[in-house]
Amino acid sequence: YPDSIPALREVTCHGKTLPLPFPQVTLYSCIGDEKSLAFLNAPGSFMEEYKKLYLFT
């Protein structure tokens, strides 16, 4: 199940650390089933673009 933690400049999910492209995001969750990131306080368009760029495989 997801684990939400504060993040400012980078995020870590499934053992990978990635830059955080939008500073307004303060929380994120690792979604194990989808192996991707879900962000809180992020504009939808930015979140979708981020998920496209940083899908976990």
Length of the chain: 57
**Which of 35, 32, 25, 34 shows the shortest CA–CA distance to 5?**
25
Q: What gap in Å lies between CA 32 and CA 34, rounded to an integer? A: 6
pLDDT at position 6 is 47
Structural domain spans, the chain: 5-53
Q: How many CA atoms lie within 13 A of 21 on its CB side?
A: 14
Q: 0.85 exceeded by the pTM?
A: no
**Percent of the chain predicted with pLDDT > 90:** 0
pLDDT band at 15 (very low <50, low <70, confident <90, very high): confident
